[in-house]
Amino acid sequence: MIENINEVKSLIKAKELIEQDIYHNEDIGSFESLALIHKYIFDGVDPQAGKLRETNCIKEEMRFVSPLYLKEAVLAIEKMPQSTFDEIIEKYVEMNIAHPFNDGNGRSMRIWLNLILKKEIKQVIDYSQIEKMMFFQAMEKSIINTIDLKILLSSALTDQIEDVDIFIKGIYQSFFYEVYDFNRYTFEKYSK
């Protein structure tokens, strides 16, 4: 049963973004590239899609960057190096700590991360190989130390960067991480 048709719409848009190679740009890794991904996925669902949040954000005792400093934070993060796996993961973690949008940060940033990895090191993460709880535990720890996250994500790296199914499975898993459990039948039913 679908609880929120808007979540299905955003899942469809995320899948479309990858299948049609809509976001294929040299500036991947910039905040603007992340904002464009977020806007594409959540446009029509969230009136703030692609825009920096203007309110404080707290999730399970984690307080994210204040909106007062958010613009400067994301601009500093986009200048971080991204030529190695370790650098890319550090950048991803910092963007997660900034948490630039009201909602949809994780789903947008995991696509952004894979596009950066694809461009820079010719590998992507097959998220279907990573269990939800392990991912979130590693993300929680990454605020202090990124080693567990790097080990977990590196174990799921693949060089099958042109395999659209790897990205699509990752999108399904990404939505599952955020508690949205869509099966292929449901997705196909609402994507027509």
Q: How far apart are CA 170 and CA 172, in angstroms?
A: 5
User: For residue 20, is it within any domain?
Assistant: yes
First and final C-alpha spacing in the chain: 17
- The helix (run of H) or strand (run of E) holding residue 52 is none
Per-residue pLDDT band for 184 (boundaries 50, 70, 90) equals very low
Q: What is the pLDDT of residue 180?
A: 56
Domain tally for the chain?
1
User: For residue 56, is it within any domain?
Assistant: no
Provide the domain limits for residue 105.
Answer: 5-49+62-186
User: For residue 30, is it within any domain?
Assistant: yes
Please check whether residue 56 is in contact with residue 70, taking contact to mean a CB–CB distance below 8 angstroms: no
Per-residue pLDDT band for 183 (boundaries 50, 70, 90) equals low
User: For residue 14, is it within any domain?
Assistant: yes
Per-residue pLDDT band for 19 (boundaries 50, 70, 90) equals confident
Q: How many CB atoms lie within 10 A of CB 12?
A: 17
User: For residue 192, is it within any domain?
Assistant: no
pTM: 0.89
